[in-house]
């Protein structure tokens, strides 16, 4: 493998725990949230122990230290995705809030009744519900790129949809259920040729392989820290500078203003225009540390390692009678294996696996329309990250055989 997996695992304290006496944890739910390395925990602890203060408002030593840490993290995140400037990185609570920020600011300022928004059938609810709300409010027309039987986007259908003259094309870079890695650069290029603005849900891509927003030429990209070895409660919206500067503020309050009078206010410059109130300072520090940690390991190395784990996992799972995998082959997907077992509900699968310490997710994974597409109510989902091992895949397979025996 491209890096020392044992050394990597030593960086993550939670991976060493036992869920019950004699039952070690096998964590295969990183698509939902990842674990945190010591470097991230230490960075957040160091902020609270030594530099805890509010930012941008004070001139005392702690306030200046806290502000520096907060902005240094922003600069690190910008480097991580190759943003042209740190001011194009907006702190939010998560990917969901980042998408909603675009929906409530850019979209409501630019879309009217009859305008077309194109999404896909594999979207997370976070990239569906904001557009449903906008459609109900403004009469915006929603169209969807179909998903093929093997879990890929139908790009021929997409090109036909582009003839409708959409104002926005929004899609997930990598499906949280199918694992499909969509051809983002091509989708964006075609959208721009049709005159559309693009928004990419990068929640599952940015943590797992190199993402360069300038190379993609994406207009907006949203992602979260907690899926990329960082803390919960903080995410990012990247946007092209001209778009961000033209957008109205999202929330009103402190720090997002330049001046305030009884009957008027002037908004701050970007990124602060979109960051009202005291932010998640420690979480921002942890986010910066997470980017530094992943960069230290190497995103190319992480992607290669995860591909090897995923390939192995799919081979092992395909051996199990009655198990149906969803999504494309390993060469077209990231570290996700969603599956069903004949005659056994996914929740039962997950609950019995947990008895052996194997943590997987069961349900519709906030992608209910995609499950409806495949005529199933739910799937079990195992997901992998830089700290996953082939031994853990073997434990998963052993556990599934126990599930089958239990229901035989």
pLDDT at 1: 43
Would you say 140 and 111 are in contact if contact means Cβ atoms under 8 Å apart?
A: yes
Distance CA 337, CA 328 (A): 10
The model's confidence at residue 408, banded by pLDDT at 50, 70 and 90, is: confident
Would you say 342 and 350 are in contact if contact means Cβ atoms under 8 Å apart?
A: no
pLDDT at 322: 97
pLDDT at 204: 98
Would you say 222 and 199 are in contact if contact means Cβ atoms under 8 Å apart?
A: yes
- Using the predicted structure, report yes or no on whether residue 121 has a pLDDT greater than 90: yes
Distance CA 59, CA 391 (A): 53
CA distances from 170 to 188, 199, 201, 221, 359 (A): 9, 5, 8, 10, 31
Q: What is the pTM of this model?
A: 0.96
- As annotated, the active-site residues are 366
pLDDT tens for each residue of 161-189: 999 999 999 999 999 999 999 999 999 99
The per-residue pLDDT of the chain, averaged, comes to 97
Task: Quote the crossing angle between the two packed helices 390-406 and 346-355, to the nearest 10°.
Answer: 120
Would you say 361 and 383 are in contact if contact means Cβ atoms under 8 Å apart?
A: yes
Distance CA 144, CA 121 (A): 6
pLDDT at 58: 86
Q: What helix, strand, coil percent values describe the chain, rounded to 5?
A: 45, 20, 35
Half-sphere exposure of residue 211: CA atoms within 13 angstroms, side-chain side:
31
pLDDT tens for each residue of 361-375: 999 999 999 999 999
pLDDT tens for each residue of 313-340: 999 999 999 999 999 999 999 999 999 9
Domains and CATH numbers, the chain: 5-30+299-406 (3.90.1150.10), 41-296 (3.40.640.10)
The share of the chain scoring above pLDDT 90, in percent, equals 98
- Using the predicted structure, report yes or no on whether residue 92 has a pLDDT greater than 80: yes
pLDDT at 125: 97
pLDDT tens for each residue of 193-248: 999 999 999 999 999 999 999 999 999 999 999 999 999 999 999 999 999 999 99
Mean pLDDT across 377-396: 97
pLDDT tens for each residue of 14-66: 999 999 999 999 999 999 999 999 999 999 999 999 999 999 988 999 999 99
Instruction: Compute φ and ψ for 143, nearest 5 degrees.
Output: -125, 155
């Amino acid at each position: 493998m491209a890096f020392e997996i044992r050394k990597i695992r030593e960086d993550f304290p939670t991976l060493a725990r036992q869920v019950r006496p004699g039952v070690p944890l096998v964590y295969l739910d990183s698509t939902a949230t990842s674990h945190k390395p010591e470097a991230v925990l230490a960075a957040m602890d160091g902020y609270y122990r030594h530099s805890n203060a509010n930012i941008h408002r004070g001139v005392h030593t702690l306030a200046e230290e806290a502000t520096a840490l907060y902005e240094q993290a922003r600069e690190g995140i910008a480097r991580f995705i190759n943003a042209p400037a740190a001011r194009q990185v907006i702190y939010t609570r998560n990917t969901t809030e980042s998408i909603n920020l675009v929906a409530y600011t850019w979209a409501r300022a630019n879309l009217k009744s009859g305008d077309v928004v194109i999404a896909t059938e594999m979207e997370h609810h976070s990239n569906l519900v904001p557009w449903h709300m906008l459609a109900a409010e403004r009469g915006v027309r929603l169209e969807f790129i179909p998903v093929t039987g093997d879990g890929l986007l139908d790009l021929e259908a997409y090109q036909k949809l582009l003839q409708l003259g959409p104002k926005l094309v929004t899609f997930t870079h990598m499906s949280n259920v199918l694992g499909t890695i969509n051809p983002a650069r091509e989708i964006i290029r075609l959208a721009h040729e049709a005159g559309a603005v693009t928004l990419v849900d990068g929640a599952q891509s940015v943590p797992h392989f190199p993402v360069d927003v300038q190379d993609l030429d994406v207009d907006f990209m949203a992602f979260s820290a907690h899926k990329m070895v960082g803390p919960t409660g903080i995410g990012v919206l990247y946007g092209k500078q001209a778009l961000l500067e033209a957008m109205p503020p999202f929330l009103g309050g402190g720090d997002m203003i330049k001046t305030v009078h009884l009957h008027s206010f002037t908004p701050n410059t970007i990124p602060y225009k979109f960051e009202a109130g005291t932010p998640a300072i420690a979480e921002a520090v942890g986010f910066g540390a997470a980017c530094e940690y992943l960069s230290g390991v190497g995103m190319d190395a992480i992607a290669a390692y995860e591909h090897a784990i995923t390939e192995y996992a799919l081979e092992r799972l395909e051996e199990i009678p009655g198990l149906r995998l969803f999504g494309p082959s390993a060469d077209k997907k990231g570290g996700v294996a969603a599956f069903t077992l004949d005659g056994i509900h996914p929740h039962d699968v997950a609950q019995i696996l947990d008895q052996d310490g194997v943590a997987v997710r069961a349900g519709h994974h906030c992608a209910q329309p995609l499950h409806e597409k495949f005529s199933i109510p739910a799937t079990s989902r195992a997901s992998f990250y830089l700290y996953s091992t082939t031994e853990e895949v073997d434990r998963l397979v052993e556990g599934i055989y126990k599930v089958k025996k239990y229901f035989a």
